[in-house]
């Protein structure tokens, strides 16, 4: 290719985001740089800085992509759609799938999510995730309860990932059920 000629590569930006997710998954956020993302994506270093001026820009794109899965699963779940569906049981089942189907992916998503503690640029994206899941739950409950359900699922998810505990679906179902009933008693 002649010097100065740019090759048309419409998928390059997405490949860089995918590469950033792989780097964070294998090395953690501390291991992510424009250089490591470029190497993983097999693109020139200039491509990463062209598409993402700062490392925070790249992390925002990675977090936004990582966030899509769970909120979509909640919104699209037939187990949560019907007015007679057991919302607590359906959410506990979805959370269990998220935490156990690909633990590495769950850890990656939480690592990016929690990076917002130190990287203010990520906070709006973390808030988008909370909002998207709560919004997906609002057809079944009020907005305050939807936000509480998100907080409880976050807490359970963090406990499982940080303590290497087994996911306890009956416990999650019971706690989510308590939130739905306003904190009263045990289910079943």
The radius of gyration of the chain from alpha carbons, rounded to an integer in Å, stands at: 19
- Where are the alpha helices (H) located in the chain, listed in sequence order? 12-27, 34-41, 45-51, 55-76, 78-81, 87-101, 103-114, 123-137, 143-163, 169-180
| 127-179 pLDDT, tens digit each | 998 998 999 898 889 999 999 999 999 999 999 999 989 999 999 999 999 99
Q: What is the mean pLDDT of the chain?
A: 88
Q: What is the spatial distance between Cα 173 and Cα 131, in angstroms, rounded to a whole number?
A: 21
Domains of the chain as residue ranges with CATH? 10-53 (1.10.10.60), 55-180 (1.10.357.10)
Mean pLDDT of 21-34: 93
Vertex 178: Cα angle to 71 and 151 (nearest 5): 35
């Amino acid at each position: 290719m002649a010097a100065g000629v740019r090759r048309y590569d419409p998928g390059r930006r997405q490949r860089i985001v995918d590469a950033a997710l792989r780097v964070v998954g294998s090395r953690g956020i501390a291991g992510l740089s424009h250089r490591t993302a470029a190497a993983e994506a097999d693109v020139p270093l200039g491509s990463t800085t062209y598409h993402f001026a700062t490392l925070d820009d790249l992390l925002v794109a990675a977090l936004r992509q990582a966030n899509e899965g769970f909120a979509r699963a909640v919104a699209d779940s037939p187990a949560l759609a019907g007015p007679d569906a057991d919302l607590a049981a359906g959410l506990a089942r979805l959370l269990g799938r998220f935490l156990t189907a690909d633990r590495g992916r769950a850890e990656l998503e939480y690592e990016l999510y929690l990076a917002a503690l130190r990287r203010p640029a990520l906070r709006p994206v973390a808030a988008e995730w909370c909002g998207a899941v709560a919004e997906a739950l609002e057809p079944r409950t009020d907005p305050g309860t939807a936000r509480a359900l998100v907080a409880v699922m976050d807490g359970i998810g963090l406990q499982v990932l940080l303590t290497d505990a087994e996911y306890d679906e009956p416990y999650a179902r019971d706690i989510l059920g308590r939130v739905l009933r306003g904190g009263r008693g045990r289910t079943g």
